[in-house]
Chains A and B, each alone.
Chain A
Amino acid sequence: MSKTQLPGIIKKAKDKLQANWVQQQFDAVGMRRDLIKTDELTKQSGDFLNQFLAGVESGNMVDIKSPAWAPALEFLNTISRQRERMGFSPSETAQFVFSLKEPLFAQLRTDLKGSPDELIEEMNSATALLDKLGLYVTEVFQSAREDVIKRQQEEMLELSTPVVKMWDGIVALPLIGTLDSARTSVVMESLLQRIVETGSEIAIIDITGVPTVDTLVAQHLLKTVAAARLMGADCIISGIRPQIAQTMVHLAIDLSAVTTKASLAEALKVALQRTGHRVVRDVDVK
């Protein structure tokens, strides 16, 4: 392959290219004028064009992971993450790179009018290059999204395990949502920790917020109960709804070794009785 003429062509018509490209982006269907201002986009386009030129000048038209392209990638990385935060969709974000094709090709057509072979060759390499850069933008966008999801998952894990003190010697753990193994170990840990801290004799595990109790969930519950018992605390499982009870019977899950109650209120009543408390209602108060 002969040496590419792209750098010369871009350099010569840079201002025109930039103007056409910005225009192109604003004319594109789905351009988010509400999210980005003209001067900002013009500046971004100018910056990228410079870095694109620097990359092309290195002569490496194939491997965008080479050092010559590092500044361009770095710049796209910033833009992509910024646009993800601003609420652009992945294709709107990738459009930034892909929309350069049309003005660039128009320029190539004008400059290489006399030599169709060269024109085709330059267009091919430019297209391949811009495709790679566009895909890179999408990849970065995707990974920015994944970062958000991961952070949310970690936040949820932290939120989902409050162990509350109900009375002296009584703690309760209201379970909510799916009990997969990662969460269960966190739940178990914080319950056992709170039993030690509060010196509780009774722990109430409330499963009202658990939509499905299958054998794995039951196994986790029984293990937690056994561990609590080893630490000298008795467990009461509450919040077993009728449909869950029927399902557990079919699954042949044996919870007879554990005190179970239909509601948290019932469980608290039992717990108070066991710790020697009595709830008395004052007759004078209505």
Chain B
Amino acid sequence: MENDALKDKLDALFRLQDLDIMIRELKDPPTKGTEEKMGFSVAHLEKLQLARTRLAERIPALDLRLYERISRHFTHAIVSVENRICLGCFMGLPTSAVSLRTEPGMVRLCENCGRILYWLDY
């Protein structure tokens, strides 16, 4: 139950990051131009902005502030963990961090780079 709550919290941040990546890429003139040249329509970016606003409203303020603070320093505030490696800085995580990953309600940060860690194998 508590793990479900943590997963929901992380999933919301995860969705926010996916949206932010899409918005950022489609605002980037070279990427937008390339997509349009390929024949893809990218006409309604305001829909993504609106979806982002709505999603952000559903995220607890503390978590949102944490995400936005980290986003100011890194392109990707949330990174996945694979084989106990943070895929943001590629440093190994201590065993303690791995064992604490499902502590109720806690969002885990990489001790080395400070990014939010996301284990998808709950």
Do the two shown chains form a genuine complex with each other? no
